[in-house]
Structure 1
Amino acid sequence: MQKDLKARVDWIDAAKGFCILLVVFHHVIVTSYSLPTFVSDSGSDIFSYFNEKISHYLAPLRMPLFFVISGMLVHSSVTKKSWYEVFDKRISNLVYLFLLWGVIQWLSVYGINRLGQPEVQLSSAVNALYSRELLEFIWLTLRGHSSLWYLYALVVYFIVCKSLARNWWLALATMLVFHWYGWTFGLSWPVNSIFINGIYFAFGCFWGSKTFALLSRLNASSLLLAASPIILFLLTKALGFSIPMLLSFSIIFVGVPLFTVAQRVMKLSIVSWIGRNTLQIYVLHRIFIELVGVLVIPAMLDLNKPLDGLSADLWLLLYPSFATATIVVLSLLFWHLSNRGIGRALYNMPQRLKVLRSSCPSASLS
């Protein structure tokens, strides 16, 4: 029993590690990698096509699996514990981190851009971290227009699922309506992402543990379960329409057994360790992406003479993976150096700020 539990935890950590690497890789692709000032037109399109397609085709796995796992991990808090017991950890702590790191990212990116060259603009997205004044930052942050939208979404999803915990089917139905609305009306980023990903959180919360316990066994029943969303997706495709949610579930249902097998065979210790430290990477990586893209790369390159020939090809082929690894290492190094003393308040709400600290000192917030 203990061995099965450990294997299940191991695949969760490995999956989270893989997903956060995909998140950083994707943000590298859509920021510094896409800047035309760094590479001339002579660069090989096949390399950029290759990296961009990796990000594109793994998008149905990246955030959906993250939210499925997040839902699984709060199952007990949603279904068994009172609001009184879970408020600090599941709501106020996430709101605290969302607001704190929203301010830190905004001030950091503002300072980096002030030091950088004006022609270097990494993203045109409507994002609070690019706000030019305080009121704009507050307005965008309250609406969830932030690179930290994952934390914003977790609070919303948790509140919805816990409010409807006695009628789990109603929670799933509510999230399904949000998902349909997001895909149908094409809302702007990241509001669209907040709408469409709730169904994965709710599924993970109410059905994730049972589903993935079966999938991890690799027997006839698990293979049939893993194949079911694939069959449905192919069927809808043959009928002339596509349901993106089925594609995500198809990849997730196939991916979980693969993570389980890979963890047993290859012992993905580094990826699993990264998976246990996703928060630090998530809140820090955008700052380092801006630092590298706005200051480091322009300092290394002559923007008046973009890379061409072999240099351009090597850039287009290797930069996304190299930058992803570098930014992850920098994020973890900064966390390691700062997560001590008063610096611990950067990654967890201080005890004195917790709303239920004095009234519920011994609550188990798992």
Structure 2
Amino acid sequence: MPTTQKKDIAWVNTLKGGCILLVVLYHVVLPGYANMVPHLTAGELPARLWLIINNTLSPLRMPAFFFVSGMLAANAIFNRPWKQVFTSRVTNLFYLYFLWGVIQWLMIYGVSQGMMGEHLSDNINAAWADSPRQFVTLMLLAMSSSWYLYALALFFVFARLFRHQKPLILLVALGLNYAAVTGVIPGWGPESLSQYFIFFLFGSFYSDILIRWSEWRRANLLPWALLLVLTLAHSLLGLEQSLFLCVLAILVSIAGCRWLNQTFSMRWINWVGKNTLQIYVLHRIFIEFFGMSAILFAVGHQLFASKAFSLLWALGFPPVMMALCVGCSVAVWTLLNRGWGQSLFIYPKLLRMKFDS
């Protein structure tokens, strides 16, 4: 592959790496860090800034993740027979979703809460289910920390089935997106599936157009201006996470990641972008352990009464906890991803095929 092509492809991993770091940061800040802000005796401003940053990045974080995922799935959607792709693109994702759903439930509800007596969040989540029946119900509703894997499998199936009826499936996805952002769909799991399906389709069907729009050319002024006007119009209507704002965020992120790779060495974040799965499925467990431990220790020793500690917490907790959880996720994956331990990260049939080859 020519060097120019490699550099052009590199932005994809940069964007994936940035998105997974933003996902980890989101889970670090909400709810554990956010719940401690009222207890701070100093550093309220930087704490509020972290919350604002987390909220401001919402139109980018998951829309860009699904756009890239759809783009990478496009070849399998259009050019490969079902027999070749069903196991790798559907069965594998469902397997990982339910496997890690069980592992997270056992580790967070069974171990962490058992040791500490409570957990970080009161949100409805399969990881904190009170019974196996509730766990299965929440998993089927995509109300799990690993819901992204579930969404990818479902999105791939529908994109594949309706790949020759693009206007129809896009119209359905558009309706689902508006239903989600206006609060019509109950439950954060179904709401998330409905909101982000269209970005997977954008990546699968129209990635070439959006990538071209992301380039700094005079010909792109019209689509950018139109997107900006529609974004402002939706904002006036109270739709802060509108479809058009998310598309603008995707275009900016593509342009930014391309520029970063042309200007700097992005080797480390590109490596993260190639290894998002293990970080995604493991980080929530470490956030629960480390975050709950840190909060209980700080509260138990009345450390928030100290202005110096409060300021340090406000400034440093999010980036330090994010780095710690990402590092531990990679370390555990390195230890486990050996021999049949790889079956924790890939469907066993695919693993056997890998060994046979």
Question: Shared fold (TM-score greater than 0.5)?
Answer: yes
**Corresponding residue for residue 81 of structure 1:** 80
Deviation at 1:242, TM superposition (A): 3.9
Q: Report Cα offsets for 1:274-302 as digits up to 9, x if no partner.
A: 11100000000000001102235534x35
1:166 match: secondary structure: coil
CA shift in 2, pair 1:260/1:96, >3 Å: same
**Corresponding residue for residue 268 of structure 2:** 270
**Corresponding residue for residue 132 of structure 2:** 134
Per the normalisation by structure 1, the TM-score is 0.90
**Corresponding residue for residue 145 of structure 1:** 143
**Corresponding residue for residue 60 of structure 1:** 59
CA shift in 2, pair 1:325/1:51, >3 Å: same
**Corresponding residue for residue 15 of structure 2:** 15
Distance between the aligned counterparts of 2:77 and 2:137, measured in 1?
30
After TM superposition, the structure 1 = structure 2 runs for residues 149-298 of structure 1, keeping only pairs within 5 Å, are: 149-184=147-182, 185-212=184-211, 214-215=212-213, 217-237=215-235, 240=237, 242=239, 244-298=242-296
Deviation at 1:39, TM superposition (A): 7.0
Distance between the aligned counterparts of 1:171 and 1:69, measured in 2?
19
Checking the alignment, whether the CA contact within 8 Å between 2:287 and 2:325 is kept in structure 1 is: yes
CA shift in 2, pair 1:324/1:55, >3 Å: same
**Corresponding residue for residue 33 of structure 2:** 33
Checking the alignment, whether the CA contact within 8 Å between 1:40 and 1:306 is kept in structure 2 is: no
CA shift in 2, pair 1:352/1:205, >3 Å: closer
Q: Report Cα offsets for 1:36-63 as digits up to 9, x if no partner.
A: 3x87342332111110011000010000
Distance between the aligned counterparts of 2:346 and 2:234, measured in 1?
45
Counterpart of 1:35, as a letter, is N
**Corresponding residue for residue 111 of structure 1:** 111
Deviation at 1:251, TM superposition (A): 1.3
Distance between the aligned counterparts of 1:208 and 1:51, measured in 2?
32
Distance between the aligned counterparts of 1:89 and 1:335, measured in 2?
20
1:25 match: secondary structure: helix
Q: Report Cα offsets for 1:74-126 as digits up to 9, x if no partner.
A: 1111112222221001100000000110010000112111011x2x4301111
Instruction: Answer with 48-57 or 182-191: which moved more.
Output: 182-191
Checking the alignment, whether the CA contact within 8 Å between 2:342 and 2:351 is kept in structure 1 is: no
Distance between the aligned counterparts of 1:352 and 1:253, measured in 2?
35
Distance between the aligned counterparts of 1:91 and 1:352, measured in 2?
12
Structure 2: runs of 5 or more not aligned? none
Q: Report Cα offsets for 1:166-193 as digits up to 9, x if no partner.
A: 1112221121111122123152212211
1:190 match: secondary structure: helix
Deviation at 1:306, TM superposition (A): 3.9
CA shift in 2, pair 1:4/1:215, >3 Å: farther
Checking the alignment, whether the CA contact within 8 Å between 1:115 and 1:295 is kept in structure 2 is: no
Deviation at 1:133, TM superposition (A): 1.6
Q: Does 1:339 align with 2:333?
A: no
Distance between the aligned counterparts of 2:189 and 2:326, measured in 1?
23
Per the normalisation by structure 2, the TM-score is 0.92
Checking the alignment, whether the CA contact within 8 Å between 1:157 and 1:198 is kept in structure 2 is: yes
**Corresponding residue for residue 311 of structure 1:** 309
Counterpart of 1:95, as a letter, is F
**Corresponding residue for residue 322 of structure 2:** 324
Instruction: Answer with 158-167 or 304-313: which moved more.
Output: 304-313
**Corresponding residue for residue 42 of structure 1:** 41
Distance between the aligned counterparts of 2:295 and 2:338, measured in 1?
31
Q: Report Cα offsets for 1:227-285 as digits up to 9, x if no partner.
A: 431232124546x5547111111111122111101111012111111111000000000
Q: Report Cα offsets for 1:317-357 as digits up to 9, x if no partner.
A: 11101110111111011111110011100110112788xx7
Instruction: Answer with 64-73 or 155-164: which moved more.
Output: 155-164
Distance between the aligned counterparts of 1:29 and 1:205, measured in 2?
31
Counterpart of 2:188, as a letter, is W
CA shift in 2, pair 1:102/1:314, >3 Å: same
Counterpart of 1:303, as a letter, is G
Could you say what the CA RMSD is over the residues aligned between the two structures, in angstroms?
2.2
More helix by share: 2
Counterpart of 2:35, as a letter, is L
Q: Does 1:71 align with 2:70?
A: yes
Checking the alignment, whether the CA contact within 8 Å between 1:78 and 1:162 is kept in structure 2 is: yes
Distance between the aligned counterparts of 2:272 and 2:350, measured in 1?
29
Checking the alignment, whether the CA contact within 8 Å between 1:112 and 1:295 is kept in structure 2 is: no
